[in-house]
Chains A and B, each alone.
Chain A
Amino acid sequence: MSLMTTKLALLTSLTIASAVVSASADAAPAQVNGLIEFGVVQSHYDSGWLNSWLDEGVGVLRFSQNGRFILSQAGLELSQDVTTTLSAHLVANGYTDGRQKLGFSEAYLRYKPITAGLRHELKLGMFYPKMSLENVDTAWNSPYTYSYSAINSWLAEELRTIGAEYTITRSGRMHRSPFSYSATVAAFKANDVLGAILTWRGWALHNRQSRYNESLPFADYFQFNQFELTLPNTEMVTEETDGRWGVYAGLNWRYLNKTDVRVYYYDNMANRLAIEANNQYAWDTHFSSVALQHKFTSQFRVLAQWLSGSTYMGRVRAGVFADFSAWYVMASYKVDQHRLSVRFDQFKVNEKDLLPEDPNDSHGYSVTFAWRYQLNHNWNIGVEWLGTASTNKSRTLWQGWQARQSQQQALALVQFRF
């Protein structure tokens, strides 16, 4: 990890810690929200090698177990006002799979002064860009399905920036207009490996978020010696490899509280020749994202997102270059305490490099059905069925393995929220 990232992380955590400590009993109370999600998973695959990438398999679903009790996740959000306009935020996530059980997915300071005309907001630290409309629930979860769309599964596992973000907003209600607008710009460090797991494994569907300094494992695609260097079959998502700044910018348009459109452009501006001591490369990755939500009624809404970009790693004749894109459309209907959601995802990665020994083409689709029922303020239950078919050429590196595979997963989960 570079010195810059270390300093940024240290600064953020120290500021948050001092903010929390300085809050005395009569000052602003800390706001605590959280959830624990557990239940049973049925995920029957034809072959053991279609296990989760977390178990070094080449499948695209998170759970390798069949008929087993799982602790899907634990999420905790902690907010503390330092002043009335400056607040500190921490989001911790716990999982039983992967190599790191506990960690922070977000840690930031937010400054939002009160202004009469245009509104301003400044964030400093590690946080998600607000480019998606699916993951709007506690600890960046989806209130609709348990497994996120392919796009947001990717953002959850591989996009994690440390930097500063500024947003300016013109609130429609305050200006006697049905339209509200926001513009966001950000500069960040870290996230130089973005694109690696997407290119090698392909798109996946899950709800597992990577945390600060987490080492994310995947199948060993490099045991066949197709690269000059021995690459690690893990990646440190929050690593700053090249010392360069990345940027993203977004526009948000909202009609009343009915229609929301978010357009983002993201570029980590990485030096694709930069390399860590363990041979983890920096991946020069940029993409555009358009997210949409429309509430037809208070009960029925449609969400959609499209994301498309490119990634480059290494030298022209020996590196990995690929284009990637994905989209989803979801319809969700809420009646009383029931919420029914159905989502269709389509996704692909197109290889652009000159290295046939390392095949990166992949494409697929998935269908997800979810029913969720709110028992009371603290408890909700639900079931989800997800079917996906993916054709990933990288699977053919192993003798006798087929590129095209279909996988199904059924989840019956209970959420305790506080």
Chain B
Amino acid sequence: MLYLSQFIKMLLIVVIMLQWINPAQAADLTVSLSDNQGNPLPNIVVTLTSPATIIEEAEFSPQHPAIMDQIDRQFVPHILVVPKGSYVAFPNSDSIQHHVYSFSKAKPFELKLYSGRPPQPLEFGQAGEVAMGCNIHDWMLGYVYVVDTPYYGKTNARGQLTLTVPPDDYQLILWSPLLDSKDSAVQYSVDVAADSKIDLSLKHALLPAFEGFEQSDEFDDY
């Protein structure tokens, strides 16, 4: 029986070592978001943060930047989410020039975009909302939302988002330029111990999106 006890000891040591190599098992948190009428809400940014959350390495480097394009006199995507320290490129797919600017505290900048001459990507080193316009096309509006966590995403067409995170107690925050400030100020406490689901709904109506501004043509800047 000596052999069996030695085998059990060995097994315990292996299990403990495995624990040491992979101390925190990941869990899936699925968020389902609906508006104040109960309809699924797409394209809303969800972030999870805890005191232990750190961004080890920026996801988007100068060599592999995130892309905020300009297509048909609009920003594409309308909302780009990047972790703090990421680089963002503005390639300008239009055959005309743009003059992108922002007055947001997180990243005030101006960038002239000539067709076929993409400038160097810009670093977004401070968390927060960066609202951008174009000095030539007044109706253009886009956002870079810089987050302080590697755990983030946008809800899909069904208002859902699944984030894979280490088990922890998290603060969940929603963001979109269309959220009422009372909804974006709410911090949801979420204890993610294992795979779990959470249903959230807004208390207030979304602000109007004015999608008619997106229906521009090449003659609108006259």
**A positions within 8 Å CB-CB of B:** 28-29, 31, 81, 84-85, 112, 114, 116, 119, 130, 133, 136-137, 143, 169, 171-174, 176-178, 180, 255-258, 295, 298
Query: What would 28 A/B residue contacts be, using CB atoms closer than 8 Å?
Result: A29-B114, A29-B117, A31-B114, A112-B136, A119-B138, A137-B219, A143-B219, A171-B138, A172-B139, A172-B210, A173-B133, A173-B138, A173-B139, A173-B141, A174-B133, A174-B141, A177-B210, A178-B208, A178-B210, A178-B212, A180-B138, A180-B139, A256-B215, A257-B212, A257-B213, A257-B216, A258-B215, A298-B217
Dominant secondary structure of chain B at its interface with chain A: loop
A407–B212 alpha-carbon span in the complex (Å) = 42
Contact with A along B106-131 (1 / 0, CB 8 A): 00001010100100000000000000
Q: Quick one: CB contact mask for B169-182 with A, threshold 8 Å, 1 for yes?
A: 00000000000000
- Check if B20 is an interface residue, CB within 8 A of chain A: no
**Residue on B with the closest CB to A174?**
B133
B97 CB within 8 Å of chain A:
yes
Does any Cβ of A come within 8 Å of B203's Cβ?
A: no
The answer to whether the Cβ of B220 comes within 8 Å of any Cβ in the partner chain is: yes
Q: Does B151 contact A (CB under 8 A)?
A: no
Classify chain B: how many residues form its interface, as a range.
Answer: 20 to 34
- Bound Cα distance A258, B135 (Å): 20
Would A256 and B213 be within 8 Å (CB), given that A81-B112, A137-B219 are in contact?
yes
B3 CB within 8 Å of chain A: no
Cα distance, A84 to B114, chains bound together (Å):
11
Interface centre among B110, B139, B208 (most CB of A within 10 A): B139
Assembly CA distance A116 to B220 (angstroms): 21
**Cα–Cα, bound, A176→B141 (Å):** 11
Contacts of B216 in A (CB 8 A): 257
**Which residue of the partner chain A has the closest CB to B216?**
A257
A176 cross-chain contacts in B, Cβ below 8 A: 207-208, 210
Contact surface of B with A, Cβ cutoff 8 Å: 96-97, 99, 101, 103, 110, 112, 114, 117, 133, 135-136, 138-141, 207-208, 210, 212-217, 219-220, 222
Query: Besides the contacts A255-B212, A258-B212, what 7 more A-B pairs have beta carbons closer than 8 Å?
Result: A31-B114, A84-B99, A112-B136, A114-B99, A114-B135, A119-B135, A257-B214
Known: A85-B135, A172-B213, A173-B139. A257 touches B220 (CB 8 A): yes
Q: Cβ of A112 and Cβ of B135 under 8 Å apart?
A: yes
- Cβ of A119 to closest chain B Cβ, rounded Å: 6
Which of B138, B213, B217 is A169 in contact with, Cβ under 8 Å?
B138
**Which partner residue on chain B sits nearest A178 by CB separation?**
B210
A7 to B219, CA, bound (A): 33
Residues of B within 8 A of A172 (CB): 139, 210, 213
CA distance A89 to B103 in the complex (A): 28
- Using Cβ atoms and an 8 Å threshold, which residues of chain B touch A112? 135-136
Among A28, A137, A298, contact of B114 (Cβ-Cβ < 8 Å)? A28
Q: Which residues of B contact A171 (CB under 8 A)?
A: 133, 138-139
Is the CB–CB distance between A136 and B219 below 8 Å? yes
Q: Are B215 and A298 in contact (CB under 8 A)?
A: yes
B222–A133 CB distance below 8 A = yes
Given contacts A143-B219, A256-B212, contact A31 B138 (CB under 8 A): no
Known contacts A176-B207, A178-B212; decide if A257 and B114 are in contact (CB<8 Å).
Answer: no
Contact B213 A173 (CB under 8 A): yes
With contact pairs A116-B103, A295-B215 given, residues A257 and B110 touching in the complex (Cβ less than 8 Å): no
Contacts of A136 in B (CB 8 A): 219, 222
Q: Which of B103, B114, B213 has the most CB of A within 10 A?
A: B213
Contacts of A169 in B (CB 8 A): 138
> Nearest residue in B to A255 (C-beta to C-beta)?
B212
- Residues of the B chain whose Cβ atoms lie less than 8 Å from the Cβ of A178: 208, 210, 212-213
The 6 A-B pairs of least Cβ separation, nearest first, read A256-B212, A136-B222, A136-B219, A171-B138, A116-B103, A257-B216
Cβ of A114 and Cβ of B222 under 8 Å apart? no
| Chain A residues with CB below 8 A from B208, complex form | 176, 178
* Residue of B207, B213, B222 touching A130 (CB-CB under 8 A): B222
Using Cβ atoms and an 8 Å threshold, which residues of chain B touch A130?
Answer: 222
Closest-by-CB residue of B relative to A83 is: B112
Contacts of B141 in A (CB 8 A): 173-174
Knowing A31-B97, A112-B135, A171-B138, say if A257 contacts B215 (CB, 8 Å).
yes
Return A23 CB to nearest CB of chain B, in Å. Answer: 12
- Among A28, A119, A173, A174: residue with most chain B CB under 10 A: A173
B134 to chain A minimum Cβ distance, whole angstroms, is 10
Please report the C-alpha to C-alpha distance between residue A130 and residue B222 in the assembled complex, in whole angstroms.
Answer: 7
